Structure 1
Amino acid sequence: MPESQHPFDRSIWRVLGDPLVPGDPAGPLHGRTVAVKDLYAVAGQRVGAGVAAWLAEQQPVQRSAGVVETLLAAGIDITGITRTDQFAFSMAGRNADYGTPPNGAAPGRIPGGSSSGSASAVALGQVDVALGTDTGGSVRVPASYQAIFGIRTTHDLVDRSGLLDLAPSFDTVGWFTREAALLSTVGRLLIPEPRRRSLAVNRVLIIPELQTSAEQDIADTTTRVADRTAEHLGVPLEEWDIDAGRLDGWLDAFRTIQAYEAWQIRGEWIMAHPGALESEIEARFTAGRDGAAEQVERARGVAGEARATVQDLLSDAVLVQPAAASVPPRADDADRITGVRAGNLRQTCLAGLGGLPSVSVPGLGTGPLPYNICFVGAPGTDVDLVELAERMTSA
């Protein structure tokens, strides 16, 4: 493996090269670089999933994930494979086996997870693009904590072949950049053109219940951005007054299904490897083991109702909301890190339940610590949604 031009920080990188895998020199994006989250298959490499004991048992894969192959064919060089939280079941960015990647925008603060290494590699300028995944906010939150662009794509719109699952009902492909234009360029590569939909916006929405769940500066910026977006599009700004209890019920359903599916996929391995996972993450898996069948079935019913409601609501609208409930907590403040998780999931679960695209956008608010605002649209409107975010950033 060629020696990399970047210093090897094991909290960011599992494998690093210069490049690790070269892209097609004739590709249109030759000269650009990408980091790959350690859930995606890269031919000749193992998939480690952020767990040392898991990595030790893996063999190199024969074929790269579909999106990795597409990026290589476009000429983008793979710089390396980046760290993830253990089995991607966290949003903090801390890893008991490998440490916590640095926050490129707020030193001493957590980077956000589970796509923590990918976000840090972009924020620190080590790569142009980084692949992540987003199940419950794992692109949107680290993008917010590190002041970079990130996208959670429409569920099942982008090829997930060669990607290690967490909870398939919600798992999506995502990526980070420092430039909105590059976020869009990658989207045009990875999102099949026949499945794209135009963004038809007759109104811009905000959700007061989500505003009150976020820190005041973030809420104020969300309102201002929503108002400017409505003015830019020439449509009214409206509020959706969802009841707090109903929203919490949707979040509970999301968490129940996520934990159940995660346990179905990894439970047998976890039982055979006691102590391999950090206790907090293991507890999230075992919650899925302990859930009764009728509880899971009931959660699927609630999630189906939420999906239908949110998709109908956004069929002709764009939602503007906080990307995360808070600015990044200090890396040494364990209680605060635990405390903000529920608030962040409250912000992120709507797009997850609806299978919706959501673009996490920096630079729309000011403050001593970073935070992003999300634009959420109807299924399939990913490319148009990024272009809207780019226009609003410029404005």
Structure 2
Amino acid sequence: MSPFVPGTAICIEGRPGGPLSGLRFAAKDLFDIAGHPTGGGNPDWARQNPVPVRHAWAVQTLLDAGATLVGKTITDEVSLGILGENAFEGTPLNPAAPGYVPGGSSSGSASAVAQGLCETALGTDTGGSVRVPASFCGLHGIRPTHGRLDLTGMLPQAPSSDTTGWFARDAATFAHVSEVLLGEKVAEALPAKLIIATEAFGFAEAETAAALAPMLDRLKKIVPDWREEVMAPPGLTAWGRAQRTLQPIEAWETFREWIERDNPRFAFSVARGLVLGAATAEAERGWAALMRQEARGRLRHLLPPGTVLAMPTTPFPAPKAGLPLSALTPIRDQILCLCAQGGLAGHPQISLPGAMAQGRPVGLSLLAARGADTLLLRMALAMEEMA
């Protein structure tokens, strides 16, 4: 299925002579494009909210750099999803694994890049929505340091975790686009130290961990000073539970006024998540907030400047599309256990392609200190050079 929002046709030329001239990009349907409704993957959002009069910051930045916008891409409803299946607009093709989900909620953006319909595409990442589709579709993807980028014109979900992210098929394009959006050149020096998150590799399915082993070997050659370490002493499941608690609460707070005013339509799984967020007990929220504080302290300790941490992006490759709801909850929960650190602690993270498990892509993630986004870009280039 096409990755673009049904019924839309958009082409906006970038500024001539810019550093990204000749590149095409697409934007997830959470980013405002002047004169076009922002649909948010929901049939009622665009109808019940005004049409934007200016481009989102990220869209304008790419246009000013010379890239040409070629379309708006499908997203899970109001970004509340991790697999990429939208009950109203369909499931974009995963060209690396036809018949399997592309990952979400930036599903259409990942699909468009993976299909070669554009060189890069904007997504968002709150609980894994760039990292997961990057892993499932075999792409480079980034979740920048939380709070680093201007999110003006991007439909929020859970602001304490929301970020803009993007995809590319190759490291050079990935770095080039990232320099424009981050406003900083790729770091010149390689990291001094490498940490391998042992429990994260243990949590992943055995075939996925084995598929990532050759990439780890390349990492160790690039950064010879490495050690194994536990990333989350309370357990990945505790971090996952904390993110599953905080994110729906914030999502409910974000969309509450709209829901109470207009009673919009939702797929069952999306409505259920919002209801759970509204009904979360204060004691549970307090526990989750303390766990977030602990996660931030742990990653601050593990990742001083010049250190990177490696872990699987997802615990397995893309699941089949069209699975019943009863099968999806444990799949989502397992994925979030390897993604929760992003929303909890806000460190930059990239997912690198280069491994196959069960005939489908799986990504290797690298994390760094807050603000050290371009150090990760340097690693992406080094890893591709050694491939």
* Aligned equivalents of 1:125, 1:96: Cα separation in 2: 25
**1:309, distance to aligned residue in structure 2 (A):** 1.1
* Aligned equivalents of 1:331, 1:367: Cα separation in 2: 16
Instruction: Decide which of 51, 71, 76 is 2:62's aligned counterpart.
Output: 71
Instruction: Decide which of 325, 333, 336 is 1:342's aligned counterpart.
Output: 333
Instruction: Determine if contact 2:5/2:29 at 8 Å carries over to the other structure.
Output: no
* Aligned equivalents of 1:199, 1:304: Cα separation in 2: 30
Verify: 1:41 aligned to 2:38, yes or no. no
Matched residue type, 2:266:
L
Instruction: Decide which of 208, 213, 219 is 1:229's aligned counterpart.
Output: 219
**1:337, distance to aligned residue in structure 2 (A):** 3.7
**1:222, distance to aligned residue in structure 2 (A):** 3.5
Match of 1:269 in 2: 258
**1:381, distance to aligned residue in structure 2 (A):** 1.4
* Aligned equivalents of 2:302, 2:120: Cα separation in 1: 32
Q: Taking structure 1 as reference, are residues 274 and 61 closer, same or farther at Cα in structure 2, changes over 3 Å only? A: closer
SS at match of 2:11: strand
Match of 1:252 in 2: 241
Q: Taking structure 1 as reference, are residues 217 and 389 closer, same or farther at Cα in structure 2, changes over 3 Å only? A: farther
Q: Taking structure 1 as reference, are residues 199 and 221 closer, same or farther at Cα in structure 2, changes over 3 Å only? A: farther
Verify: 1:95 aligned to 2:86, yes or no. yes
* Aligned equivalents of 1:93, 1:55: Cα separation in 2: 20
Q: Taking structure 1 as reference, are residues 341 and 262 closer, same or farther at Cα in structure 2, changes over 3 Å only? A: same
The correspondence of residues 139-150 of structure 1 with structure 2, limited to 5 A, is: 139-150=130-141
* Aligned equivalents of 1:131, 1:331: Cα separation in 2: 23
Match of 2:361 in 1: 370
* Aligned equivalents of 2:190, 2:97: Cα separation in 1: 37
TM-score, L = length of structure 2: 0.93
Instruction: Determine if contact 1:14/1:81 at 8 Å carries over to the other structure.
Output: no
**Aligned Cα RMSD in Å?**
2.1
Q: Taking structure 1 as reference, are residues 227 and 311 closer, same or farther at Cα in structure 2, changes over 3 Å only? A: farther
Match of 2:193 in 1: 203
The correspondence of residues 307-326 of structure 1 with structure 2, limited to 5 A, is: 307-315=296-304, 316-326=306-316
Match of 1:285 in 2: 274
SS at match of 2:360: coil
Match of 2:42 in 1: 51
Give the stretch that moved more between structures: 358-367 or 83-92: 358-367
**1:358, distance to aligned residue in structure 2 (A):** 1.0
Q: Taking structure 1 as reference, are residues 102 and 322 closer, same or farther at Cα in structure 2, changes over 3 Å only? A: same
Match of 1:351 in 2: 342
**1:163, distance to aligned residue in structure 2 (A):** 0.8
Match of 2:373 in 1: 382
Matched residue type, 2:61:
T
**1:227, distance to aligned residue in structure 2 (A):** 3.8
Matched residue type, 2:5:
W
- % of aligned pairs identical? 36
Match of 1:12 in 2: 4
Q: Taking structure 1 as reference, are residues 310 and 343 closer, same or farther at Cα in structure 2, changes over 3 Å only? A: same
The correspondence of residues 120-131 of structure 1 with structure 2, limited to 5 A, is: 120-131=111-122
TM-score, L = length of structure 1: 0.91
Match of 1:4 in 2: none
In structure 1, the gaps of 5 or more residues are 1-8
SS at match of 1:143: helix
Matched residue type, 1:321:
M
* Aligned equivalents of 1:256, 1:318: Cα separation in 2: 28
SS at match of 1:136: coil
In structure 2, the gaps of 5 or more residues are none
The correspondence of residues 97-136 of structure 1 with structure 2, limited to 5 A, is: 97-136=88-127
Q: Across the two proteins, how many residue pairs are aligned to each other?
A: 384
Instruction: Determine if contact 2:187/2:378 at 8 Å carries over to the other structure.
Output: no
Instruction: Determine if contact 1:147/1:362 at 8 Å carries over to the other structure.
Output: yes
* Aligned equivalents of 1:155, 1:330: Cα separation in 2: 31
SS at match of 2:154: coil
* Aligned equivalents of 1:206, 1:197: Cα separation in 2: 21
* Aligned equivalents of 2:360, 2:155: Cα separation in 1: 33
Give the stretch that moved more between structures: 376-385 or 108-117: 376-385
CA deviations 1:230-249 (Å, max 9, x no partner) are 23223123232644x54322
* Aligned equivalents of 2:192, 2:385: Cα separation in 1: 22
Match of 1:301 in 2: 290
Matched residue type, 2:134:
A
Matched residue type, 1:360:
S
* Aligned equivalents of 2:53, 2:268: Cα separation in 1: 33
CA deviations 1:201-237 (Å, max 9, x no partner) are 3431222221122121221234443343123223123
Q: Taking structure 1 as reference, are residues 339 and 259 closer, same or farther at Cα in structure 2, changes over 3 Å only? A: same
**1:350, distance to aligned residue in structure 2 (A):** 1.5
Match of 2:166 in 1: 175
SS at match of 1:166: coil
CA deviations 1:147-188 (Å, max 9, x no partner) are 111111110111111111110111111001111111111111
Give the stretch that moved more between structures: 301-310 or 269-278: 269-278
**1:257, distance to aligned residue in structure 2 (A):** 1.2
* Aligned equivalents of 1:146, 1:338: Cα separation in 2: 21
